[in-house]
């Protein structure tokens, strides 16, 4: 090999090593590697798509408002899409975002089973991915069975923390009411394939036992997380348990508790015999605003606006400044009831 050829060959090898080292540095095991699909350090305009399940729900409406306000503040072009409960639409809208040259996608998937497909699409398309509210796994349909380093970074609330606060409040109110455990039953209602819902419910059960100091019969009810489905399913539960004198209602969100409280009161139980503790407060406040007796006694206020704003800020910082997206980032929560919800700033449209 001539000196000239040897020198060219050596330079090529060194360049290859340098590129390999650079690639290694870019995937050094930081929390954000799972979603580090998009180009970082954007010098031009940033465009985002926020694709939400159940976009007509109060919480997600607030989330969209918070996202839009933060995007305007940062000079980001933001498009919000309502996926409803259509998992296939989530895939379609992510594809649309890629085709429209979006630099980032924030998604609340209607069903976690499409998570791997969404993650692969954004990775192939070179688009940054962040989830809000619900977890998404890049390698399988069930985030609960996913290795932590394969979960897409998420902005939202801590399911365990929220469930703990709900269960603690329910346990404390149960003690104050003086109800007998053998005459009482707990309905815990949630969409059972949504990981964050399961986290909340497991935590509320544990916290209730600790706060109440006794065991109370628990009836798990699977729903689609809507008030109507919760009401239908819990109506059947109540009909099959007429010996129960007092009901406690908890679940994944305000929808489940609202539907549960309505079902129990429609079955002839007085508001004083129902203890519902919601999660969201956006439906609970409507009960309190009317001033009528209700079994909806308290709710954990989670402000969707905070989550939407935090999600946009998080993906912006990643794209604009190369700041790693944390595995999870949480917004604050506040427990409210009929006497405190207005002071806490719960929006009640």
Percent of the residues in the chain that have a pLDDT greater than 70, as a whole number? 88
- Distance, CA of 63 to CA of 112 (rounded, Å): 19
Options 3.90.1150.10, 3.40.50.2300, 3.10.129.10, 3.20.20.70; CATH of 159-302? 3.40.50.2300
Mean pLDDT of 185-206: 95
Homologous superfamily of the 47-152+305-332 domain (CATH): Response regulator (3.40.50.2300)
Residue 278, pLDDT score: 98
**Alpha-carbon distances, residue 83 vs 25, 60, 86, 163 (angstroms):** 36, 11, 6, 26
Average pLDDT over residues 30-53: 71
Contact (Cβ atoms closer than 8 angstroms) between residue 132 and residue 156: yes
Name the burial class of residue 216, with classes exposed (0-12), middle (13-18) and buried (19+) by CB atoms within 10 angstroms of its CB.
buried
Range 301-324 burial, b when 16+ CB lie within 10 A, else e: bbbbbbbbbbbbbbbbebbbeeeb
Domain ranges for the chain: 47-152+305-332, 159-302
Confidence at 67, pLDDT banded by 50, 70, 90: very high
- Residue 39's pLDDT is what? 53
The answer to whether 47-152+305-332 and 159-302 have equal CATH topology is yes
pLDDT of residue 43: 65
| Cβ atoms of residues 201 and 249 within 8 Å | no
The structure tokens 């607030």 sit at 62
**Chain centroid, CA 138 distance in Å:** 17
Q: What is the three-class DSSP state of 203? A: helix
Sheet holding 246-251, edge to edge: 217-222, 184-190, 246-251, 274-280, 296-302, 333-337
Q: Looking at residue 35, what is its pLDDT? A: 53
Q: Which two tokens stand for residue 179?
A: 């109800």
**6-10, 107-111, 181-185, 264-268, range with the lowest pLDDT:** 6-10
Once rounded to an integer, what is the mean pLDDT over residues 28-53? 68
pLDDT band for position 37 (50/70/90)?
low
Question: 304, 345 in Cβ contact below 8 A?
Answer: no
Helix axes 115-125, 87-99, angle to 10 degrees: 0
- Which secondary-structure segment (H or E) carries 221? strand 217-222
Confidence category of residue 196, pLDDT binned at 50, 70, 90? confident
Q: What does the DSSP 8-state code read for residue 264?
A: H
Give percent of the chain above pLDDT 90: 81
- DSSP string of 131-184, one letter each residue: EESS--BSS-S-GGGS-GGGBPPEEE--HHHHHHHHHHHHHHHHHHHT--GGGE
- Say what the pLDDT of residue 57 is: 86
What is the predicted pLDDT for the residue at 310?
96
Stated pTM of the model: 0.72
Tokens of 40: 């970082």
132: pLDDT strictly greater than 70: yes
Tokens of 302: 């989670």
Confidence at 44, pLDDT banded by 50, 70, 90: confident
| Structure confidence by residue, pLDDT tens digits, 83-115 | 999 999 999 999 999 999 999 999 999 999 999
Q: How confident is the model at residue 41 (pLDDT cuts 50, 70, 90)?
A: low
**pLDDT(15) > 60:** no
| Residue pLDDT, tens place only, 270-292 | 999 999 999 999 999 999 998 89
């Amino acid at each position: 090999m001539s000196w000239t050829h040897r020198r060219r060959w050596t330079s090529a090898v060194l360049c290859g090593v340098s590129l390999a080292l650079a690639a290694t540095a870019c995937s050094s095991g930081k929390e954000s590697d799972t979603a580090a699909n998009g180009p970082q350090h954007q010098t031009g305009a940033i465009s985002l798509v926020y694709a939400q399940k159940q976009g007509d729900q109060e919480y997600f409406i607030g989330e969209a408002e918070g996202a839009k306000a933060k995007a305007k503040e940062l000079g980001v072009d933001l498009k919000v899409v309502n996926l409803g409960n259509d998992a296939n639409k989530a895939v379609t809208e992510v594809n649309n975002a890629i085709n429209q040259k979006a630099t980032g996608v924030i998604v609340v998937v209607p069903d976690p089973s499409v998570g791997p497909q969404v993650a692969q699409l954004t990775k192939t398309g070179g688009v940054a991915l962040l989830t809000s509210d619900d977890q998404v796994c890049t390698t399988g349909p069930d985030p609960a069975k996913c290795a932590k380093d394969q979960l897409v970074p998420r902005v939202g609330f801590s399911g365990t923390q929220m469930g703990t606060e709900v269960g603690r409040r329910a346990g404390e109110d149960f003690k104050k009411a003086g109800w007998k455990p053998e005459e009482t039953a707990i309905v815990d209602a949630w969409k059972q394939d949504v990981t964050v819902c399961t986290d909340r419910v497991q935590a509320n059960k544990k916290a209730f036992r600790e706060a109440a100091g006794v065991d109370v019969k628990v009836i798990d009810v699977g729903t689609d997380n809507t008030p109507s489905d919760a009401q239908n399913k819990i109506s059947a539960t109540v009909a099959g348990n007429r010996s129960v004198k007092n009901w406690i209602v908890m679940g994944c969100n305000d929808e489940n508790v609202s539907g549960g409280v309505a079902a129990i009161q429609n079955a002839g139980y007085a508001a004083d015999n129902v203890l519902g503790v919601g999660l969201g407060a956006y439906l609970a406040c409507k009960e309190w605003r009317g001033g009528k007796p209700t079994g909806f006694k308290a709710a954990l206020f989670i402000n969707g606006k905070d989550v939407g704003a935090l999600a946009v800020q998080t993906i912006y910082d990643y794209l604009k400044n190369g700041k790693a997206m944390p595995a999870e980032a949480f917004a604050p929560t506040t427990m409210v009831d009929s006497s405190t919800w207005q002071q806490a700033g719960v929006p009640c449209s």
